Structures are given as structure tokens and as C-alpha cells.
Chains A and B, each alone.
Chain A
Amino acid sequence: MAAASFTAAKFLAPVAARSGGEKAPPLPAGASSSSFARAMRRGGAHHPRLRTALAVSSDVLAGNKAQAAAANPAVTREEALELYEDMVLGRVFEDMCAQMYYRGKMFGFVHLYNGQEAVSTGFIKYLNQADCVVSTYRDHVHALSKGVPARSVMAELFGKATGCCRGQGGSMHMFSAPHNLLGGFAFIGEGIPVATGAAFAAKYRHEVLKQSGPDGLDVTVAFFGDGTCNNGQFFECLNMAQLWKLPIIFVVENNLWAIGMSHLRATSDPEIFKKGPAFGMPGVHVDGMDVLKVREVAKEAIDRARRGEGPTLVECETYRFRGHSLADPDELRKPGKDYFPVSFYFFASLVKFLVLTRLSGEMENGIKASLAKFAVVWYSVVPIELVNETLLSDFSFLSSLHSSYLICQHSDRYDEKSHYAARDPITALKKYIIEENLGTESELKSIEKKIEDVVEEAVEFADASPHPPRSQLLENVFADPKGFGIGPDGKYRCEDPKFTQGTAQV
């Protein structure tokens, strides 16, 4: 499919319509005319770039085809409840932030994570203490998933001295050294090189300093959004991470919007996961509203990195239920986007009916092949929920009309927000847990109650905490307490005899 006709509906297309698995990925339309592209296709199977898999929507990475047969990845009861609790914590906490903001307890820029919990929980709950997480300004839930106590995060948001950064960072700059949460960066793309550096340090510690953990390399996960994927630093780091085979996972939280700029308006090729193989690393697309699928992909990517096989680019299709920040009026994500005019569907289904009924039984094979192609195009523009309805329209004019009416109705009211609200990760996991008998309704309710208590307590704690003392203003500018190279004992730091070990030959 040519990039020019790409729409968000493509994300909703059935999995079968897209490439995946061992097959070489389709080259973009623009490349098809060059001889280089033809050479690639001929010798494609042996070219290292094309060997790298592109996986799609919960298909696991190529090579593990057998696992793709499972309808859902296996998860134990404890894991499922842990994931549920973590996502509920993220959701309740962010809702409380909104309340507190409108009451004036929180101020400045606050960016909430509602709707994206599956990505944070899916990845971070699989990490160890020693693994690092680097995030953007939308970092509250990453901090919570990594283990920073809710009361520390809430106090930091209130600007109190008991916050995780003693009130000096704020909403956008969450740091926690014990939890290896390395920020919290306001500039988009800024966290990616820092994360790459943390991964570099993990590899350096292993190879040069000969200090390694029992599991393998310490892994770094960098979270960033779709807008960041057009930024230069992103590409610079994809290059260097793969060049030096660093243990990092680049997680794109593609929520389709960068403040008010739609991803499709800002990006020449909106399929971000394809940018991984361009640099020689696997690029994976996963449904970011399903925590179990995210976790499955996370396991694969994290284990790869630990073994030293290098980076992975994971694109999570997700959505933020609230605006970009609490100050964002969120006017551009209005419901009711028409992708095609109403008349298109009517005439298309009429043509389809006419062609099918006139040609049935005549010149079947060749024409049925062309009809199959037509059907692929047709189904790619029809929202997935209506595919079943339109199947019946093949042989009856009336049902053709009916299905086109349904589609028109639906396209009139195609509402991105309610579409994704129906795919709320927390409701989905709840449903899964109950259906698979991993937990009862009352257990889940008690988890929710517990989390509400935790968040209430966090607010009370933050409220009761003191503001930072005035003396804190000038502290911590330098790690070096006096800023003159003078150590805590009052002598010049550089005269410390500890630094003079070594056998340098000048």
C-alpha cells in the first residue's frame, strides 16, 4: 500500500493484511523503481537488513512462530494480579493528580498517562532493580512502576521537601538513584541519548571493569513518543546503539498525537517500527492497549539485550485518554473524522455487488483473483468492527446497501477516543483475569480499594509535608560541596592521595 493513502485505519486492519514473520518486508512504494531496490529483492533473503524481522501486532518475533499459535501468552496468577495492581495504581494516581491540579496543590506542567498504563507496566514490571528506565515529561507512572513510592512522587509533585527529588525536579524531572530511574526530561528526544549512555555504562562495566550481574547485562529501557521519532537524536542513537550493540530497548509510546499535531501529519512514513531495521535492529509493533502482548514483546526484547544481542525498537500503539497536559484544551482530537465521504461507501458496495453477481460462474479464476485484491483494499478501509457485517453484502443488493449504510454511520461517528476507551487496558486485563480464572471479582475489587487507600495516603502525606527550607535553594548545584574542588575535609580534592594510584608512564 502506498504511503500516501495511509490512515489510522491501517492500525485497525486485520493482521493478515500486513506482512510479518519470515517473509521479507515489502519495500516502500518509492523505492520500487530503483535498481538498488530490485537487487535487494533478488538477493533479499541474504541481505542482513532484510533478515531482520518485522513483527506485527502480537505476533512474536520471527523464529518463535510456534508461540504465535497461542491465543494469549501464558501468565501466572501472581503475575496477572501484579500487573493489574500496577496499572490500577497508575490510573488512580493520575486521576488524583488531575484533581489536585484543579485544586491548586500542583502547578506548572503536568502530563498524565491515562490509557497508556499497559506499556509502562508491561515493560517495567519485567525489569530488575539494577535495570534503568529513562522517560520523558510524562513520567509519573514510569516512576511508580519502577518502584518509587507513591507518596514520594506525590510529594514531589506538590513541591515538598519529602519528594523524591526534594521538590527540586517537579513533575517533569523525576529522578531516583536507588530505583535507577534516570529522569524525567522535558525536551523530547533528550532522554534517548542519556538512556543509550546508561546502556553503554552497563556494557562498559561488564567488559572493561569486569563487573557483571548474575543475569547478564543490566538493561536500559527508554520511553518516548511518536513525535520524538522525527527528532535527530533518535536516529543518532539508533545508529550508535546498534553499532556498539548496547543493551537498550527503545520503546515508542505511539499515541498518535504530539500535543495537537497528528502523527500522520508530521511523519513521512508513520510506521515507526520500520525505522529499526533501517539501522540493523529488529523493529516490533505491538498493541499497546494489551498488557499481556506488551509483556510478551518486552520479555523477548529484554532477554535479547541481557544476552548482549543488542537493541530493539518497539512501537506500542497506545492512546492517551486525557489531553497532552492538564493545560491542554484538547480540541483537535474531536470525534467524527470522516476518512472517506459517505457516498464512497455506497457506490463501492454497489459496484462490488454488481461485479460479484454478474461474474459468478463466468471466467472464475482470473477474475476471482482480482476480486480478492479488491476485497483486501475494501477491508483495509472498513473499520474492523464492521468486517463481519460487510461479508454478507457479497450476494445481496439489499445487504450491500445495509452494510454501506452502517459504514457511513460509523464513519460519521468514527470516534478515536471512544474507540480506544473501549480498549482500556485495565478493563481488558480484568476481563482476562476473570475469564481465565486467575482471580475473582472480589479480589480485584480489593486490589482497587487498596490502591485507592495508597493514593489517598500519598496525598495526605504530601499535604502534611513541609516546603523545602530556604537554605535548599543553593544546595546541590555541584556534587562537590564547595564548588572549588574542595572536599568535605576542607582540603583540595585533587590532593587526595587516593587518586594517585596508577602506573602511568609519561
Chain B
Amino acid sequence: MEKKDLQVELGTKECFEEALPPVLKLVSSQTVAGFDCVGYANGKNDQSQTATNYTSQEETLVHEPGTEVADTRGQDIVINLPELSSPIQMANHSRPFSLSFSLPSSPSGLHIGQTKTVIYTDKDKANAANGVSSQPPEQGKYHSQPMPVIEGPRRVPRSDSVRDKRFDPFKTWSGRLERQLSNLRGKPQEVEEEEDLEANSSHGAAQTDAVPAVERYFDALEGPELDTLRATEVSVLPEDEKWPFLLRFPVNAFGICLGVSGQAILWKTLATSPSMTFLRVSPTANLVLWFISLALMGLISLIYSLKVIFYFEAVRREYYHPVRVNFFFAPWITCLFLAIGVPPSVAVNLPAPLWYVLMAPIFCLELKIYGQWMSGGQRRLSKVANPSNHLSIVGNFVGALLGASMGLKEGPIFFFAVGLAHYIVLFVTLYQRLPTNLTLPKELHPVFFLFVAAPSVASMSWAKIQGDFDYGARIAYYIALFLYMSLAVRINFFRGFRFSLAWWAYTFPMTGAAVATIRYSEEVANVFTHALSIGLSAFSTFIVTALLVTTIIHAFVLGNLFPNDISIAITQKRPKFSKMLAHLRSSSSDMKDLDSSAPRVSQEY
């Protein structure tokens, strides 16, 4: 095939002209006899070489007819260092590095290769070789530098201290802040890179100033938390590398604070509630937990504010994510929890202005998000409703609870009314499982426990507002209890999900239900209610402990507590070859048009 030959030839040319990335070695997929920069351990001839780059199941299908696939060879990764004399600078066009693994390629790796060439073609930076080489079966060019639209020319790195510019689009002002800061710190500047940056900043700006539309999040991601990239999608950042820590730090981390401060409230209630005095729980537990949660909150807020300063674009993308946006309420709810659970030895009466200060951010966030629901645009409720939306509702009830316990009158009723109205809307919408709703997981996932949060906190806050646990509070409490029971008996379905930090946020509903039960047992005191309160408290403590152990294991043993945050790195537009590949890949039968494909929960990833 003349295409192959052309490609081989150009591959040769490319190999000569390309410069080396500092950390990745170059292996060209084209083997030409005697060609220095190509090496495979087995040294097969070029025809089979080209054909056999795809050895995984999926790529078998995209081969041209008549091409052999040698499975055996593809099992080893072979990385050779080409013998190039010196790093050569690229002339004036951008060319990606070619990197070819002979392993069965991961789907993402495959798509990086395809997508990058597509983008090159689109942006007119590619020459014919790239255009030709973008035929999937023919070549196995993987481009290891994944941000063509941002950094055009690949510069030879002068030294190891050169900044990795791949993550610039996610940094504040596309990396200019960081350059300013390193300027201030006196680091040497690479001047020529500045020029390229200016030249390409327009491309970069065009690509990343606009956050992906909400449909892109639904199209590209799947899973109950919309955090798993679909197989046909590709991320704009390298998936095989560990991203900077700040970039990997999601806003879900505030869920830890929610869980722990909820526990502090539970132990405070256990220690101070008149119906639980027979347990003789010491107030020390509350004290210790409160200080731990305070410290955690401080730490996580500090880290996240660093992320806001340095990676503002990433924060913006998190804000536009239909599930993550609800976690932006989590810091403020945690502050409210800390105020509710403050140990009596630290403070008894909190000043009223504190309540206004704590509720102001929640009010502003609410105005924005409920308004989006109402105005019916792209983020209307029938499209984006998912159980995490409960986080945006619970804040109202928690604020009402705190305000009422501080003695305020009108403010708590205000937030209770707003929360109740929108909770009814959300509850009905989620129960309806509208066909236009794409994010609701088909299987149960711990996120469903958030259903229990709002009624239990609402019952407590209504009791505080009214002064006693009247019928309204009881009705809300029974609803919460019923939802809890109907989820608890389905415990079998909560299996097989990948652990994520957000699970911490799903523990506070159980804690809330336990506290509501304790409050209820103050009113209706009998053996059953006492037993129920003890049982629910024990269960919630057990869950939090188990989660703590899991977190520690993931953090220190497995080292993947903060995996690459794929959900913020989706592309603006769907990668063009994904459709072709989707049609060709018959392995997944439900790989239809992305609009109509149902979200699949990935059992393992």
C-alpha cells in the first residue's frame, strides 16, 4: 500500500527530525531495515511490524483485511533509546513525538494517538504524514505529548527545571501566574518559549477558555459520580502519568470533613442527650473528634485554596461538572456542622452574626444553582438531576437547625422554606427517573444514601424551630427512616464500586439519621427507640471507621487516594475518531451514539 510506504518514509523523516522528550524514550513504530531510530527486540520486518502494533482485542478489528496479527510479539513493552546524535530543534512546524508500545494498547492510549492526530489535522499543524498516519490500522503512532493545541512546537528541554507546560490550561491564567511567581522568585526564564506561548496562546485560549458544555460532561463521562471516562473519550491530559497533586485534588475531598464533623455532632448528642445518659458517653469523644475535624477542615481548605489560586481553570471545570458542583456546598456545610457540634467546653453560645456569615455563601450559591434549574437552559433540572443535588438542599436545613439553636427566628424559617420547596422538586424529579435524566446510576451506589440526609435534618430543624418534636418533624423523620430502611435492605447492591473520596460525604446522612433518632427518642422514650438510636449510631461509627481504614489503605499502601481527576480533563468536542472506532468495536454492544447511550457503571477501572 502506498499509504504505508509513505508513512514509513515519513516516519523515518520524523524520527530524524524529532527531538527527544526528556522522560520518555522514542520508539518508532516503523521499522525500516537498518534505520537507527527504530528498534524492536525481535527485529521483524516492517510489514508485519506496522501491522502488529495493535495487538489487543479491539484493534484486531480495525486491521486491514489480510494483515496478520502476531499476538505473541505484542506482549512485551519494548522501549529503545534511539541513537540520535543530538537533540535537534524543530524547524517551524509542530510535530508530536512518536511513541509506540508493542503492548496491547490501552483504550486511552489508543485514543490519544488517534485524537492527537485528528487535532493536528484540524489545526492545520499536521502535514500529510500525520494525516495519513491517522489511519488507525496502519500506524501505531502514539504521541506522547498530549497538548498540541496549547504548546505548538516541541522544544528541546534545556534542563530538567523547565516547567511542564502540559498542565498550563488548567492553571490560573493559563500558567501566567506561575510564570509570574517564578519570575518573582528569580528563576531564569526561557525566553523563546515565551514567544511560542504568545503565538499559541490564542489557540490555547480558544481551547480552554470555554468550559465544556454540560452535554459534554454527560457524553464523555459515566458512572454514578460522573467520574469515569467513557471508552470512546480521551482526556486532554496524559492519563498514564501522575498529574500535579493540586490538579488531582478534587473538591470531593471536603466530604471527609463532612463525615468527620458529622461524627463529632453524633458523639456530642450521645453525650448530652437526656435519653442517652444511660450510656454514660464521655464528652471527650466529641472534643477529640471536633478538633480533628477542625484540623482536617483547615488542611483541606488550605490545599483547595492553593488549587484555586494556582489551578483556577481546573476549579472552574469542576464547578461546571454536574455532580461536582454540589460539592462546592460541602465546605460551608462543614462549617455549619462544626458550629453545631462545638463542644460545650469550647463555646456554649455562638454569636448571631456568625450565622449570617456562614449562610451568606450558601445563599449565593443557591441563588445561582436553583436559578439555573428554573430558567430552563442547559442545566435544567430534568437534565442534571442526580442524588448529589441533595447536598445543595441539605445546606438549607442545616442552616435552619443552627440558626434555631442559636435563637434566631426568621432566618431559620427562611432557609427552611426555601429548602423545603426545592427539596420537594428534587425529590419528585429523582423519584421520577425521567428519561431525559442521564446521570442517575442504574445500580445503587453509596450516593443514594444522600436521600436520607434531607428529611432527617429537616425533622431536626423543624423540631428546633417549633420548639418541640411535633407532627411535622415526626412526618419528616418517618420519611427519613423509611428511606434508610429501604436502602439498608438492599445492601447487596452496594457492591463492586470503586472507592472514591466522595464516599465520605455519603456517611453524614447516616450520622444525621442517628442524631434524629436520638432526638426522636427524647420525645418517644421506649426500648425500641433507644435500641434504634444505639444501633444507628453504632452503624454510622462503624461505617466511618471502615472508611477511615480504606482511606488509609488507599493513601499509603495503594498510593491511589488521589487518582488523576479525569472528569475535569474532558475535551471540548468529541474526538472525531471515536465514532469510527465505536462502530468498529463490536465488543461493547451498547456503543451507540453517545447521546443515546445509557451511562454504564464501571465495575472496575
Q: Do A and B bind each other?
A: no
